[in-house]
Amino acid sequence: MRVIGGKQMAFQKLRDFNQNPLGQVLLATLLFCFVFIALFLGLYKSGQAYIVKEETRRAVNLTSLTGGAVYANGLQLVREANIVIMGSAAFDAAVIAQSIGEALLAPPPLDVAAVALAAEKADPHSRNPAQDIFAAVFGVDTPAGIGAYPALIAGQAYLTANENSLSLPPYNAYNYETAKDIDAVAPNMALRFRHADEFLPDNNVAPYSLMHNGVRHYFYSDQVESADNPRHPKQMRVKKFSSSEFAGWWVRREKGGLDDGGAGNLSGQNPFSKVTGIGLLKKYLHQFKLDITDRDDPPCHSFTTLGNMKVKTGAQDKSLYEVGEVRVETKGISAWDTGKPFQIYLVKVNIDAFPVLRQSLQTLRNIPVLNNILQSSDILNGL
């Protein structure tokens, strides 16, 4: 006689129960309930994740817009600072003109060196204290552009991110389109001091140019392409897949440049290049530091936020990342531009237009933690 154990007995009973109609109905009902509970739970979880994604997008956009507003406010303050600086510069120029007047009116030949020396000696430098103060306030020509006002932009963005329930700290980028190295992440307003020589035209032959940190770079028609920007349909940029270190940067059309010039076509000459001694004059004027201006031409002022919000999925927390970028545009930040309005608007982050950044990001993807961030954010659009 075979002895049946307790466990086997229970299985036997269950099998018998399942073979009668009542058991089958019960089993089917259980299966049915399980399927629908799974559906409900799935819908609930995905719905929650979708809500958090929408909240994150909204919070990041509002934080970027706030950063942009503070940035624009700072640029307006720069214009007012420029009134003070240019007022002092005008006073300095009047003193210099008075002191070199006699040398200029002396009978020919004109002793240029003596005039230049007299001008240098007579310069009272009354603009210097204002320049020093505003340099510290706005981070002009300081290491990585660090200053009090850029710190306010970062601080306000941090606080707004906190109020909008983003996880802290948010990661911000400053004018990354024209930034090099640490400039992209250190709070800065992409500003520099203008020098007197910049009012003189350059002797160029190329039709497009851009300026970065006071140095102008020229490009021919075959080195640029449309910037593909709906707000600025005629805007051109350096070809984004070119080997240029400025690939993707916006360029300005030169009035004196040759329209049909290709790379290496130097047959045309700007009439201004024939003026002798212009290089020396520019070199001399470069020592006169004037007002605050944009670091780049065409100007680039943008503020980008990479924020995340946590969502609970199962036992673990997951972070959802979003990126928002705001561009601040205006027609000049000089003292005489004080009344001109600002345009502050959200733009689609377009990392792939900047090969240097794209390459850096692809390197970062090899780091598991950063790869998770990049995978779950919109930052890799187009890569």
Partner 1 sequence: MKNLKIPGDFRGQALVEIILALPILLLFVAGISQLAVTFLCYVQFEHACGEAARQYAAGTINKDALGSRIANNLGNLSGYFDIGSLDIRIQTPSNNAEKALDKVRHSISYFPFVPHYEGYEWSISIKVHPPFLFKLIFPNGITFRTVMQVYRYPT
Looking at the Cβ atoms of 198 and 337, the one nearer to partner 1 is: 337
Of residues 150 through 179, those in contact with partner 1 by CB under 8 A are 155-156, 159-160, 162-165
**Residues shown for the chain:** 383
Residue 70: CB minimum distance to partner 1, A: 6
Cβ at position 346, least distance to partner 1 in Å: 7
Stretch touching partner 1 by CB under 8 A, among 52-60, 97-105, 184-192, 307-315:
52-60
Is 58 one of the binding residues for partner 1 (CB under 8 A)? yes
Both tokens of 70, joined, read: 């503070």
Q: Is 336 in the site for partner 1 (CB under 8 A)?
A: no
Residue closer to partner 1 by CB (options 74, 248) is 74
Q: What is the DSSP string of 126-194?
A: TTHHHHHHHHHHHT-SSGGG--HHHHHHHHHHHHHHHHTT--SSPEEEESGGG--GGGGTS----EEEE
Q: Is 355 helix (H, G, I), strand (E, B) or coil?
A: helix
Q: Distance (Å, rounded) from C-alpha 43 to C-alpha 205?
A: 63
Nearer to partner 1, 133 or 370 (CB): 133
User: Would you tell me how many other CB atoms lie within 10 Å of the CB of residue 195?
Assistant: 16
Q: How far is the CB of 66 from partner 1 (least distance, A)?
A: 4
Residue placing its CB nearer to partner 1 in the complex, 84 or 281: 84
Radius of gyration of the CA atoms of the chain, in A? 32
Q: Does 106 bind partner 1 (CB under 8 A)?
A: no
User: Considering only residues 66, 178, 188, 305, which one is a binding residue for partner 1 as defined by CB under 8 A?
Assistant: 66
- Tell me if the bond preceding 109 is cis, omega within 30° of 0: yes
Could you say whether residue 351 binds partner 1 (CB under 8 A)? no
Q: Which of residues 3-42 bind partner 1 (CB under 8 A)?
A: 32, 36, 39-40
| Pick 77 or 285: Cβ nearer partner 1 | 77
Spacing of C-alpha 246 from chain mean position: 14
Give me the least distance between CB of 52 and partner 1, in Å please. 10
333 is a site residue for partner 1 (CB under 8 A) = no
Nearest to 23 by CA among 15, 12, 35: 15
Q: To the nearest whole angstrom, how small is the minimum distance from the Cβ of residue 25 to partner 1?
A: 8
Is 341 a binder of partner 1 (CB under 8 A)? yes
DSSP for 249-308 reads -EEEE-SSS-TT--TT------GGGGSTTHHHHHHHHTT-EEEEEESEES---EEEEEEE
Which position has the token pair 């070119």?
Answer: 242
* Contact positions vs partner 1 (CB under 8 A): 32, 36, 39-40, 43-44, 47, 50-51, 54-55, 57-59, 61-62, 65-66, 68-70, 72-73, 76-77, 80, 155-156, 159-160, 162-165, 341-346
